[in-house]
Amino acid sequence: MAKGSRALGADLVVPALAAAFALYFFVSTTDLVWEAKANGVVIGTALLVLVALQVARVAWQWRRGEGGMGFAPLVEPREYLGRRLGLVALTAAFIALMPWLGLTLRYGSAWWPRC
């Protein structure tokens, strides 16, 4: 990649994760009441439209030769790589524990004392 050109591949990581989240949202709301499904479809569709716009923008820039499909900005500067990986691990742990912890802590849950 020439000096001054951008690493466009790094611009696709968040949209890919957002698309996966939207698809997960569609699947996870199938057995909810229709109001919740409707909200999920509206929010998920809006998210997928934004993902499509970002992918089109990156494809347009790549086609014009404004950058390559590199991922260097995700690992540079190297001194912050440990923090980034720690954040990814923390996020993965939160997602894995969500079935047991729930999305929010509710007042009156089994392990939360009542005042």
Residues with Cβ within 8 Å of 18's Cβ and at least 6 positions away in sequence, in order, are: 47, 50, 51
> Of residues 4 and 77, which shows the higher confidence score?
77
Domain range annotation of the chain: 1-70, 76-101
Comparing C-alpha atoms, which of 87, 84, 72, 89 is closest to residue 10? 72
E strand spans, the chain: 6-7, 67-68
Please report which confidence band the pLDDT of residue 40 belongs to, taking 50, 70 and 90 as the band edges: confident
- pTM check: above 0.75: no
The string of pLDDT tens digits covering residues 52-82 is: 999 999 999 999 988 888 888 877 888 988 9
